[in-house]
């Protein structure tokens, strides 16, 4: 049995406390959600002059989770997300606090546009389709992606009444109802599959794309809502998505720096948490698989839902079982580096998406050297290929060599790229993306309700409110506020 470590060391402590009781918070998970939660707890505690010690436990040898950047020979290779959306105010404020605003970079202006591989050719995605659906009539009417009957059906969306659907609706059902099946198959489905790594036939609209549900509810039409939004004043100087000069790892590195390296335990996997009685009543024991247990006044679980299930199994079987039911998809990102800049000339814009109806193995291709500055040395090209099991049925557990060969085959067949890459990088994400299936919102609500029966226990992460770094940061801020509120009530 692990020994209990109850030392009152100053590591991780913020605030002087004014003689108040010292508190310890254990954050399980050192990805972007865990690091952000730790950062916000420290910030809020210091603002209230609370004596709080925050310690982060990460089972991998590095912090950052799926935000992972490799640098090799002048190439900047993203093994996870390659950008963040700037519409989230919490994200933008956090970046300012971390000193990262001046490190932000927008996409290269000369290579704008995303393409769709459709009926054997690459067709440009209609302008205004970034929100998963066409939001402008004229680009939709002139695209070669959609047949004439499909365009007529999609244009009629502006005349359709508000939904009378009761209960949850899938993304596929919503798009087909509003715009027709062709828009779903040729535009919405590949966008959803790539961004969320999910089958839209199973994905919940309210959980995956809540803004579309709001647009219909408030304006009765997506096209009407988009027109109203374009009339609003905005910050035209800020791109909708940005990265960082040295890669996305700059964000998690800055967060880790603020939390403090000595407050982050790497290579420490937590096996369980428990609530002892006696003199330890009111505290949690955080039990690593190896080493000493930690006594904590509060625990923030910033791990995937299935990890919440594993760690809480001995303390609350119902909570563990429900958390384990949240489904995940597995994906792989294959990056190919080329010694020639002519390779990227085969693909216009920043890359292309592949609809499921095309029957290909790859779901998307991004030309990183076209999309972002400083991602490849001058005269070189960098291309990322995405594969995921929920999209193609492909088992991404294939060998690295086989995955690289598949990426090369897809690039040759679709874009005519025959050159051999100088090197490749394979990143698998086993159970890497939560799937917001119809009904998953009820499970998340049930998990939150069950955690409330364990005072001082909090959960956060992409599986709760939305995939993407901005959503994770907002959810982590919410969890941090709950921790501070809990300490206020527990005086």
188-203 pLDDT, tens digit each: 888 887 777 778 888 8
Whole-angstrom CA distances from 350 to 108, 184, 244, 341, 409 are 9, 22, 17, 14, 19
- What is the model's pLDDT at position 15? 59
What CA–CA distance (Å, rounded) separates 393 from 387? 10
- What is the model's pLDDT at position 109? 85
Per-residue pLDDT averaged across 301-322, rounded?
97
- What is the model's pLDDT at position 9? 39
For 374-456, strand residue ranges (E) read: 381-388, 423-434
- What is the model's pLDDT at position 440? 85
For 327-453, strand residue ranges (E) read: 328-338, 351-353, 364-367, 381-388, 423-434
pLDDT at 270 over 60: yes
Closest Cα partner for 375 from 105, 194, 114?
Answer: 105
Label residue 104 by pLDDT band (50, 70, 90): very high
Q: Which residue has the tokens 């901005």?
A: 470
- What is the model's pLDDT at position 371? 94
Label residue 164 by pLDDT band (50, 70, 90): confident
Per-residue pLDDT averaged across 296-313, rounded?
98
What CA–CA distance (Å, rounded) separates 212 from 175? 10
pLDDT at 232 over 70: no
Q: Which residues contact 144 (CB under 8 A, 6 or more apart)?
A: 118, 121, 123
Our measurement of the distance from residue 367's CA atom to the centroid of its chain's CA atoms, rounded to an integer in Å, reads 20
Our measurement of the distance from residue 110's CA atom to the centroid of its chain's CA atoms, rounded to an integer in Å, reads 27
The verdict on domain 4-61+247-326+437-489 having CATH code 3.50.50.60 is: yes
First to last CA, the chain: 31
- What is the model's pLDDT at position 356? 84
Assigned superfamily of 328-434:
Protoporphyrinogen oxidase, mitochondrial; domain 2 (3.90.660.20)
What CA–CA distance (Å, rounded) separates 368 from 246? 13
- What is the model's pLDDT at position 455? 95
Q: At 13, is the secondary structure helix, strand, or coil?
A: strand
Per-residue pLDDT averaged across 297-322, rounded?
97
Q: If you average pLDDT over every residue of the chain, what do you get? A: 89
More confident residue, 144 or 53: 53
Nearest-5° angle of CA 300, CA 456, CA 323?
55
pTM value?
0.89
Label residue 10 by pLDDT band (50, 70, 90): very low
pLDDT at 236 over 60: no
- Determine the angle formed by the axes of helices 171-179 and 189-196, rounding to 10 degrees: 150
What CA–CA distance (Å, rounded) separates 111 from 228? 28
For 479, left (φ over 0), alpha (ψ -120 to 50), or beta? alpha
pLDDT at 234 over 60: no
For 12-51, strand residue ranges (E) read: 13-14, 23-28
What CA–CA distance (Å, rounded) separates 93 from 476? 14
- What is the model's pLDDT at position 202? 86
pLDDT at 237 over 70: no
DSSP bridge partners of 299:
26, 457
Q: Which residue has the tokens 């563990």?
A: 320
| Chain segment 368-404, per-residue pLDDT in tens | 999 999 999 999 999 999 998 765 555 667 889 999 9
193 phi, psi to nearest 5 deg: -65, -35
Label residue 87 by pLDDT band (50, 70, 90): confident
More confident residue, 422 or 210: 422
pLDDT at 450 over 50: yes
More confident residue, 9 or 192: 192
- What is the model's pLDDT at position 66? 96
What CA–CA distance (Å, rounded) separates 67 from 255? 12
pLDDT at 96 over 90: yes
What CA–CA distance (Å, rounded) separates 196 from 327? 13
Dihedral angle at the C-alpha atoms of 130, 135, 138, 139, nearest 10 degrees? Answer: 10
pLDDT at 44 over 80: yes
- Give 234: exposed, middle or buried? Use CB within 10 Å, 0-12, 13-18, 19+: exposed
Percent of the chain with pLDDT over 90: 61
For 342-412, strand residue ranges (E) read: 351-353, 364-367, 381-388
Dump the DSSP string for 211-264: HHHHHHHHHSSHHHHHHHHHTS---TTS-SEEEETT-THHHHHHHHHHH-GGGE
Per-residue pLDDT averaged across 304-322, rounded?
97
User: Domain residue spans in the chain?
Assistant: 4-61+247-326+437-489, 127-230, 328-434
Least confident range from 22-26, 112-116, 276-280: namely: 276-280
Dihedral angle at the C-alpha atoms of 34, 40, 41, 42, nearest 10 degrees? Answer: 110
Positive or negative torsion for Cα 468, 471, 473, 479: negative
| Chain segment 334-363, per-residue pLDDT in tens | 999 999 888 877 888 899 999 888 889 999
Label residue 316 by pLDDT band (50, 70, 90): very high
- What is the model's pLDDT at position 296? 97
- What is the model's pLDDT at position 478? 97
Q: At 356, is the secondary structure helix, strand, or coil?
A: helix
40 phi, psi to nearest 5 deg: -70, -40
**Residues of the chain by 3-state class (helix, strand, coil), percent to 5:** 40, 20, 35
Least confident range from 12-16, 19-23, 55-59, 303-307: namely: 12-16
Per-residue pLDDT averaged across 8-16, rounded?
51
- What is the model's pLDDT at position 12? 57
Same fold, 4-61+247-326+437-489 and 328-434: no
pLDDT at 4 over 50: no
- What is the model's pLDDT at position 14? 61
pLDDT at 5 over 70: no
Percent of the chain with pLDDT over 70: 91
More confident residue, 124 or 285: 285
Write down the CATH number for the domain with range 127-230. 1.10.3110.10
- What is the model's pLDDT at position 67? 97
């Amino acid at each position: 049995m692990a020994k209990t470590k109850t030392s009152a060391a100053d590591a991780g402590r913020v605030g002087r406390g004014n003689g108040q009781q010292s508190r310890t918070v254990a954050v399980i998970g050192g990805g972007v959600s865990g690091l952000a939660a730790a950062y916000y707890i420290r910030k809020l505690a210091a603002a209230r002059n609370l004596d709080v010690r925050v310690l982060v436990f990460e089972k991998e040898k590095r912090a950052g989770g799926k935000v992972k950047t490799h640098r090799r020979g002048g190439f900047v290779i993203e093994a996870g997300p390659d950008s963040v959306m700037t519409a989230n105010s919490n994200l933008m404020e956090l970046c300012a606090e971390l000193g990262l605003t001046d490190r932000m970079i927008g996409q290269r202006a000369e290579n704008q546009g995303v393409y769709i591989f459709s009926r054997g050719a690459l067709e440009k995605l209609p302008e205004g389709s970034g929100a998963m659906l066409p939001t402008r009539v004229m680009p939709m009417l002139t695209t070669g992606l959609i047949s004439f009957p499909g365009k007529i059906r999609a244009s009629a969306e502006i005349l359709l009444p508000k939904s009378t659907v009761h209960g949850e609706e899938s993304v596929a059902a919503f798009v087909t109802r509003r715009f027709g099946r062709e828009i779903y198959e040729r535009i919405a489905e590949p966008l959803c599959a790539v961004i969320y790594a999910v089958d839209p036939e199973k994905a919940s609209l309210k959980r995956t794309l809540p803004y579309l549900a709001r647009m219909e509810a408030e304006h009765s039409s997506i096209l009407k809502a988009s027109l109203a939004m374009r009339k609003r004043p905005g910050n035209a100087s800020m791109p909708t998505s940005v990265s960082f000069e040295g890669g996305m790892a700059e964000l998690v590195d800055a967060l880790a720096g603020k939390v403090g390296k000595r407050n982050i335990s790497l290579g420490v996997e937590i096996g369980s948490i428990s609530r002892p009685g006696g003199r330890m009543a009111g505290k949690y024991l955080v039990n690593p698989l190896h080493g000493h247990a930690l006594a904590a006044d509060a625990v923030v679980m910033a791990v995937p839902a299935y990890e919440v299930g594993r760690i809480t199994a001995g303390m609350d079987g119902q909570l563990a079982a429900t958390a384990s039911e949240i489904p995940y998809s597995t994906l792989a990102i294959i990056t190919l580096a080329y010694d020639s800049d002519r390779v990227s000339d085969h693909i216009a814009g920043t890359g292309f998406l592949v609809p499921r109806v095309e029957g290909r193995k790859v779901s998307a291709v991004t030309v990183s050297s076209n999309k972002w500055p400083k991602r490849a040395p001058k005269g070189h090209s960098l291309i990322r290929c995405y594969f995921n099991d929920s999209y193609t049925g492909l088992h991404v557990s294939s060998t690295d060599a086989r995955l690289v060969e598949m990426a090369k085959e897809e690039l040759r067949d679709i874009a005519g790229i025959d050159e051999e890459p100088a090197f490749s990088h394979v990143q698998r994400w086993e159970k890497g993306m939560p799937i917001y299936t119809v009904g998953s919102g009820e499970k998340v609500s049930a998990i939150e309700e069950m955690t409330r029966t364990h005072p001082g226990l909090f959960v956060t992460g992409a599986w709760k409110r939305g995939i993407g770094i901005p959503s994770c940061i907002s959810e982590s801020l919410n969890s941090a506020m709950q921790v501070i509120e809990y300490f206020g009530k527990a005086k």
